[in-house]
Structure 1
Amino acid sequence: MAQIDSLFVTRLYRAALAEHGKPVDPGELEAACLSIAEDDEAGQDWCEENGFPGYTSYASLTDLPWRFPIFADLVKVLDKHVASFAKDLEFDLADKKIKLDSLWINILPEGGIHTSHLHPHSVISGTTYVAMPTDTSAIKFEDPRLAMMMAAPSRTKGARAELRNFIYVAPEVGEVLLWESWLRHEVPMNMAEDDRISVSFNYGWE
């Protein structure tokens, strides 16, 4: 009888933030995100100059855990989730560690999108979700083999998840998603009237 195995698995980690350590209050985190966005003129200017819809602190602020204690609390929890995921990935870290490299806010208004991208120079990337209005966009992950499938037919409508070219994940407020940083992803257009708010981050190997 034929044997068919799955090779070169792509892992996606999904959990409630509260699964590791003290819960982070989503309301307090949302208030902090909105307050920073309102005061961050450099970030607002960058978004306008680069045609980024809404707001991101990615290019302007590198010290969120210092500015608001809730971000410091968030990092402590994220460290535990990332350590758990790194263990699942069976990384041989030798005498180095997976450490936080960057942490930033994303506020995506109605009609806003975040085009397809990956996170170079990092090992594990992820997002935790602060405000997810009804009908807001799910995050979309792309099969990393897609560019090599020039002559392949499309998959059937009911294809198993591990065989699809794209996977959509609709997380809830208070959840965290983690993936290896080479995995291409995007946020399709936010169709909700309210803002979609998240905090994203990268961890490197040091």
Structure 2
Amino acid sequence: MTQIRSLFATRLYHAKLSELGTVDTDELDASCYSIAEDDEAGQDWCEEQGYPGYTSYASLTDLPWRFPVFAELVKVLDKHVAAFAKDLEFDLGDKALVLEDIWINILPEGGTHSSHIHPHSVISGTTYVAMPEGASALKLEDPRLAMMMAAPTRRKDCHEELRPFVYIAPEVGDVLLWESWLRHEVPMNMAEENRISVSFNYKWE
């Protein structure tokens, strides 16, 4: 009997942050702007690198210590990451997945974040603070794509699991998690207002 199975699954976790805890999203939004305004090192880095908008990725490593709302956020993220790790059936042994870094992204109209991975982490993710109408989705790339050298393109109506790229349009308060080797990007923000998110990595130790 003919049998066709899907192998080597790529998992994506998508949930409301509030399902596993409470975070004041208004305070989180205000804190992102306050930090961006005061972070001169981050502003300088963004200007030097030609990064549109603002990110604290290269300048601040202690957001949960500086702002209580980020400490609250991490407590909730810990629970979501634990749930995802359980779904992935990781054998963590006597170690745990712990926060490695967390940073702010403020992407203005016309801003993009090019395709990349997070090679030194296990789980990466983002929670969304402001997603105005027209804000760009998260674009995820099939990790096998580079090896499909002679393959024809897929039909436009093919199953989601067979698409070379999948676009996820999150809402404010959503959290997305994926394994850190999954290549992803943020296409151009077409909204007139800022797209604000908080991204993070978890490591195994």
Q: Give the match's secondary structure for 1:192.
A: coil
Q: Distance in 2 between matches of 1:28 and 1:93?
A: 34
- 1:97 paired residue number: 96
Q: Distance in 2 between matches of 1:143 and 1:121?
A: 19
Structure 2, unaligned runs of 5 or more? none
Structure 1, unaligned runs of 5 or more? none
In the TM superposition, what is the alpha-carbon distance from 1:24 to its structure 2 partner? Answer: 1.1
Q: Distance in 1 between matches of 2:70 and 2:115?
A: 26
In the TM superposition, what is the alpha-carbon distance from 1:193 to its structure 2 partner? Answer: 0.3
- 2:19 paired residue number: 19
Taking structure 2 as the reference length, the TM-score comes to 0.99
Q: Give the match's secondary structure for 2:89.
A: coil
Q: Distance in 2 between matches of 1:159 and 1:26?
A: 37
In the TM superposition, what is the alpha-carbon distance from 1:66 to its structure 2 partner? Answer: 0.8
- 2:81 paired residue number: 82
In the TM superposition, what is the alpha-carbon distance from 1:97 to its structure 2 partner? Answer: 0.6
- 1:8 paired residue number: 8
1:133-185: CA deviations, max 9, x gaps?
00110000000000000000000010000000000000000010000000000
Task: After TM superposition, list the pairs within 5 Å mapping 1:30-49 onto structure 2.
Answer: 30-49=29-48
Sequence identity percentage = 78
Task: After TM superposition, list the pairs within 5 Å mapping 1:1-206 onto structure 2.
Answer: 1-21=1-21, 23-206=22-205
Q: Distance in 2 between matches of 1:120 and 1:3?
A: 35
Q: Distance in 2 between matches of 1:25 and 1:161?
A: 34
In the TM superposition, what is the alpha-carbon distance from 1:106 to its structure 2 partner? Answer: 0.2
1:43-95: CA deviations, max 9, x gaps?
00000000000000000000000111000000000000000000100011111
Letter in 1 for 2:121: S
Q: Distance in 1 between matches of 2:24 and 2:132?
A: 17
Taking structure 1 as the reference length, the TM-score comes to 0.99
Which aligned segments of 4 or more residues in structure 1 are displaced greater than 6 angstroms?
A: none
In the TM superposition, what is the alpha-carbon distance from 1:27 to its structure 2 partner? Answer: 1.2
Q: Distance in 2 between matches of 1:43 and 1:82?
A: 27
Q: Distance in 2 between matches of 1:25 and 1:68?
A: 12
Q: Distance in 2 between matches of 1:2 and 1:26?
A: 51
Q: Distance in 2 between matches of 1:114 and 1:31?
A: 22
